[in-house]
A and B are shown apart, each in its own frame.
Chain A
Amino acid sequence: MKRLPLAANSIRQSVIRMLVEAKSGHPAGSLGMAEVFTALYFGVLRHDPTNPSWKERDRVVLSNGHICPVLYAALAEAGYFPKEHLLTLRKLGSPLQGHPHVGSLPGIENSSGPLGQGISQAVGMALVGKRENQDWRVYALLGDGELDEGQVWEACLLASKYSLDNLVAIIDRNNIQIDGTSDDVLPLEPLSEKFSSFGWNVVVVDGNNINAVLHAFSMAQSCADKPSVIIANTISGKGVSFMEKKFGWHGKSPNKEEGELALKELAEERKKLEAM
């Protein structure tokens, strides 16, 4: 079962290449979430990359739009569009906007950027699915810093009110945000208890362990009558030693030399994976 770790490695390499070329963007969260996106697009989702507007598809709503490099890389890896397009990220006229825009790129379900907005849209979609007895699901991805936004909790209350068990939220719990650690900027703990007191089923997982992440998704899916949240403990900048756990890499792109170093590390990891 090295297909998935290899896909995660490819996604990380794409993220680095995109950000070096774009000269701006957000590496830390993008790298840290590579396993979650791999699990989603290569294990969990009911989707068809050749038919992105398929009515029966599962919906992926990226609420923390700034980590879109990992979403774009995963979509390209899954075949939604050619990988060459990734290098146009953030450039004039590109469908790969600095934050996602509906209609610009196949596979994008929501426009995002201002934090807290995606989860509400995911709730709206899940509500339609539930009321119309559809069996597709909605997966909403949020950052932990994003939980500072009050709108998130408005949405959580409503999801619970309407028992949206077709909705799974995934929190990227990397404990970094722009000004520092989330423990310093605005403490979130006890986080699991917050969600469970809001009426959500909570699954906590090592977000950089693909098998554990896949298991967490199946736990979330099997819970009836409640929305589920997967708190994915991740390492920001995962896979690139000099970026790991450093909040300075939240919104700073690697330069060419740093990019080469990062790609070298990732290539070595890939060799090890292939030899396994």
Chain B
Amino acid sequence: MEGNPTSANLVPDVFAAAVPKKASRDGFGKALAELGEKDQNVWALTADVSESTRTHWFAEKFPGRFVQVGVAEQNLAGVAAGIAACGKKAFISAFAAFSPGRNFDQIRVSVCYSNLNVKIHASHAGLSVGPDGASHQILEDIAMMRALPNMTVLVPCDLEQAKKATIAAAALKTPAYIRTSRENTPVFTTPQTPFEIGKANVYRDAKDVAIFACGLQVFEALKAAEELKKKGIEAAVIDMHSIKPIDRETIVRYAKQCKALVSAEDHQVNGGLGSAIAEVLCELHPAPLVRVGVKDSFGESGNCAELYRKYGIDAAAIAKAAEEAVKLKSSE
């Protein structure tokens, strides 16, 4: 079993060319339209990006519960808070660079302080947005959102998981943040893959090193594990779709089992998944951790693959980090 995919119900061969490539934002949009059908209390709002955030599928079906606020992200969050204060479930969608990039204060006070039922869907997050460049590549949103009381933070790895994350977030009565991407990437999880907020998914079990990843880095981590295997290193791959609440038990279990850990994310190394894991390790079970993420810099224009390579957050960088982590373990 070691080094092999666990019984997580992934597609049979995650690397096969036949695995369809689609964006996680589509998963959000499909789930939102489904929720709208089932629940008259679901409202959706957007800031002039209904198609890009895949909110238009909801808008076409339920115009009476759709609100177009224009390019006004501060008002977007505030209006949603007012709608939620009337007993509705308000989903706001915009590019992550602007919501929560621009409306952190409104999310903090209007939404979180009142603990209202507002879900923040942020698409186009991270370097993966590509050619638009650094202004649009937000790399600080996970840090901002996980610092907020009452907030749940979800970073799905593909279209299927984005669907499940959206439906799971809708079941909460409290604020939640759902981070999706525009880039088309393999849909390697299936409708049968488990999803539970606060419970990490183990896609490979192993004893040499454990790679914790979120979002598009989960697939990169699976590729890295294949490369590592060729070098005789068996890597566990754990999908940390929930950044908050974080699965402390799984982190500690792998700290004990592998004694060498890697985190990987399309986000600054400061404040994101890697930091969240480091906090758990320091408090509960110290172990070497090498963090893969953007190293305190802005991005630039380029395509997703080029940027992931240049900024060191692709499969090769994750594999390199895993080797470093293994060395740290043996030098102890």
Residues of A with Cβ closer than 8 Å to B? 61, 101-103, 109-114, 116-117, 119-129, 131, 150-151, 154-155, 157-158
Contact = CB atoms under 8 A, between A and B. Distances in A.
Given A112-B109, A120-B75, A131 B82 contact: no
Nearest to B75: A154
Contacts of A113: 109
A129 B82 CA distance: 11
19 contacts: A101-B113, A102-B114, A103-B114, A111-B109, A113-B109, A120-B74, A120-B106, A121-B82, A121-B85, A124-B78, A125-B82, A125-B85, A128-B82, A150-B74, A154-B70, A155-B75, A155-B79, A157-B72, A158-B72
A151 B106 contact: yes
B83 A125 contact: yes
Interface in B6-31: none
Given A110-B81, A110-B82, A151-B78, 19 more contacts: A110-B110, A111-B114, A112-B109, A113-B109, A114-B106, A117-B106, A121-B82, A121-B85, A123-B82, A124-B78, A125-B83, A125-B85, A127-B79, A127-B82, A128-B82, A151-B74, A154-B69, A155-B79, A158-B79
A120 B106 CA distance: 10
Interface residues of B, number: 27
Interface in B62-93: 64-65, 67, 69-70, 72, 74-75, 77-86, 88, 90
B105 interface: yes
A127 B74 contact: no
B257 interface: no
Contacts of B77: 120
A201 B79 CA distance: 21
Most buried by B among A112, A122, A127: A127
Nearest to B73: A154
A116 B74 CA distance: 9
A132 B327 CA distance: 63
B110 A117 contact: yes
A27 B110 CA distance: 24
B240 to A, nearest CB: 31
A116 B109 CA distance: 11
B109 A120 contact: no
A121 B64 contact: no
B270 interface: no
Interface of B: 64-65, 67, 69-70, 72, 74-75, 77-86, 88, 90, 105-106, 109-110, 113-115
A121 B115 CA distance: 14
A123 B85 contact: no
| Chain A at the B interface: SS class | helix
A158 B75 contact: yes
A122 B64 contact: no
B288 to A, nearest CB: 42
A101 B114 CA distance: 7
Given A150-B74, A158-B72, A120 B113 contact: no
A61 B69 CA distance: 20
Contacts of B113: 101-102, 111
B147 to A, nearest CB: 17
A111 B74 contact: no
A118 to B, nearest CB: 8
B83 A154 contact: no
Given A131-B64, A155-B75, A114 B82 contact: no
Contacts of A61: 82
B223 to A, nearest CB: 43
Nearest to A158: B69
A122 B82 contact: yes
A154 B68 CA distance: 12
B75 A123 contact: yes
A114 B75 contact: no
B114 to A, nearest CB: 4
Of A126, A131, A158, which is in contact with the most chain B CB atoms at under 10 Å from its CB?
Answer: A158
Nearest to A119: B78
Given A117-B110, A158-B72, A127 B83 contact: yes
A128 B88 contact: yes
B81 A114 contact: no
Nearest to A121: B82
Nearest to A157: B70
A124 B65 CA distance: 12
Contact of A124 (B64, B72, B82, B105): B82
Contacts of B109: 111-114, 117
Given A114-B109, A154-B69, A128 B83 contact: yes
Nearest to B105: A114
A121 B72 contact: no
A128 B45 CA distance: 13
Contacts of A155: 75, 78-79
Nearest to B115: A103
Nearest to A131: B64
A100 B88 CA distance: 22
